[in-house]
Amino acid sequence: MIVLLGASGYVGRAFQRLLQQSGEDYVSLSREQVDYTQYRDLVDFLRSLRPQFLINAAGYTGKPNVDACEIAKADALRGNAMFPLVVSHACQSVGIAWGHVSSGCIFSGGIVDCDGRRQIEPDLTTPAMKYLLATNPKAVHGFRETDEPNFSFRRPPCSFYSGSKALGEESLADDPFAYLWRLRIPFNQQDCPRNYLSKLQRYGKVYDNVNSVSHLDDYCRACLDLWKLGAPFGIYNVTNPGYVTTRQVVEMIGRVLLPARSFDYWENDDEFYRVAAKTPRSNCVLDTSKLIASGVKIRGVEEAIMDSLESWQAEPDRVSVHLT
Ligand SMILES: NC(=O)c1ccc[n+]([C@@H]2O[C@H](COP(=O)([O-])OP(=O)(O)OC[C@H]3O[C@@H](n4cnc5c(N)ncnc54)[C@H](OP(=O)(O)O)[C@@H]3O)[C@@H](O)[C@H]2O)c1
């Protein structure tokens, strides 16, 4: 049996769908039923159920976006930095392995080949990087699991959300039976305010950048596959291999969904942060070779996005309320 924490959330619901569809024996738990953020309550619950595995899809994201974490700092720290340690201790105490929904938002930029050397480039939107991306896209690589986060409290600037997620990863470094599954900018075919493809369509103006992104259902399947394949515990970047620019995604949206609107872009970072965002945003490329080498099958990023758009399930029209 598998226990799923945070099943009422955006990521948790996707895990729940997958567990249902694949006929897994599972129990989902909400804080309303058992306050699983309390060590004793969680241990008692796990002892009574004796599951084989636990998925932690619970955490604090901030609504409508990460700017909210700049105000709710205690909630972000409690939900993202301290709570994973509670789960870790509880799972170790009852002797079960588990997986934690982590995030790629603890990185900024990518790793680029420059003058025969590989170096970290924290901003892939500079004119030099734009030129490199246009002329030699293969020279841009992703951060690996062994790279130190460069968008964290230890390596500022960062958003408070990203800082709290990086602390969460740090707190699990000594857990020998935990998977840390890094998710990044989730999307799928189901239109909803949390879906990256929906957000792009609703933004007043679009922020152009370069990112690795995760098809939400591919992500959940890949995470579960890691456990089923008996892959070594530890950190995994779980994105669809490759990267995309926002412009590429907007172009795909235009081509497939034929929206009635045109898309404007923020002129530059200055305008974006002055008008639309309070805290720095992570934009980054992640390397998925560890995931692939573990035997997990996951399609490339462009195929995943195109497939989502071609099977798009639109919600009734909404007012554009989220700017970032
Ligand atoms: N969505 C993204 O873009 C994204 C990207 C990368 C990583 N992640 C990570 O994925 C995890 C889930 O994110 P999500 O987008 O699914 O969030 P969500 O929709 O807000 O759901 C999170 C769920 O966690 C539970 N929870 C437990 N402690 C909480 C707390 N202190 N504050 C708020 N909720 C708490 C709640 O479930 P109950 O109260 O019912 O138990 C809630 O429904 C988080 O760790 C997040 O950092 C999300």
| Cα-to-chain-centroid distance, residue 247 | 20
Distance 268 CA to ligand 1 centre (A): 31
Question: Residues 260-271, buried b or exposed e (16+ Cβ, 10 A)?
Answer: eeebeebeeeee
Tokens (6 digits) for 59: 């955490």
Any atom of ligand 1 within 6 Å of the Cβ of 183: yes
Q: How confident is the model at residue 320 (pLDDT cuts 50, 70, 90)?
A: very low
Quick check: 193 and 322 in contact, CB under 8 A? yes
Above pLDDT 90, what percent of the chain?
84
Separation of alpha carbons 286 and 146, rounded Å: 11
> Is 55's C-beta closer than 6 angstroms to any atom of ligand 1?
no
Q: Is the bond leading into 157 cis (omega within 30 degrees of zero)?
A: yes
Tokens coding 297: 């099958």
Handedness of CA 83, 241, 177, 51 (dihedral sign): positive
Strands 178-183 and 234-237: parallel
- Judge whether 87 and 41 are in contact, CB under 8 Å: no
Secondary structure of residue 290 in the 3-state scheme: helix
Residue with tokens 């020998």: 176
Q: Is residue 323's pLDDT more than 60?
A: no
* Residue 251 CA, ligand 1 centroid: distance in Å: 30
* pLDDT at residue 124 is higher than 60: yes
- Is the domain covering 2-310 a CATH 3.40.50.720 domain? yes
Tokens matching residue 170: 């740090």
- Residue 58 near ligand 1, beta carbon < 6 Å: yes
Residue pLDDT, tens place only, 145-191:
999 999 999 999 999 999 999 999 999 999 999 999 999 999 999 99
One-letter amino acid for residue 161 of the chain: Y
Q: What is the pLDDT of residue 273?
A: 77
> Nearest-CA neighbor of 105 among 151, 147, 143?
151
In this predicted structure, what is the pLDDT of residue 294? 98
Q: How many CB atoms lie within 10 A of CB 299?
A: 14
Q: Ligand 1 mean position to 60 CA, how many Å?
A: 5
pLDDT of residue 318: 57
| CA distance from start to end of the chain | 39
Asked if residue 137 has pLDDT above 90, the reply is yes
Ligand 1 centroid, distance to 231 Cα (angstroms): 25
Q: What is the torsion angle, in degrees rounded to the nearest 10, for the CA atoms of residue 135, residue 139, residue 144 and residue 148?
A: -90
Q: pLDDT tens digit string along 20-42? A: 999 999 999 999 999 999 999 99
Token pair belonging to 244: 């995309």
Burial group, residue 205, by CB count within 10 angstroms (0-12, 13-18, 19+):
middle
Does any ligand 1 atom lie closer than 6 A to the CB of residue 12? yes
Q: What confidence score (pLDDT) does residue 319 get?
A: 45
Question: Are 200 and 250 spatial neighbours (Cβ–Cβ below 8 Å)?
Answer: yes
Give the tens place of pLDDT for each residue, 242-299. Answer: 999 999 999 999 999 998 888 888 877 778 777 877 888 889 999 999 999 999 999 9
Per-residue pLDDT, 65: 86
Which candidate, 204, 314, 196, places its Cα nearest to that of 246?
A: 196
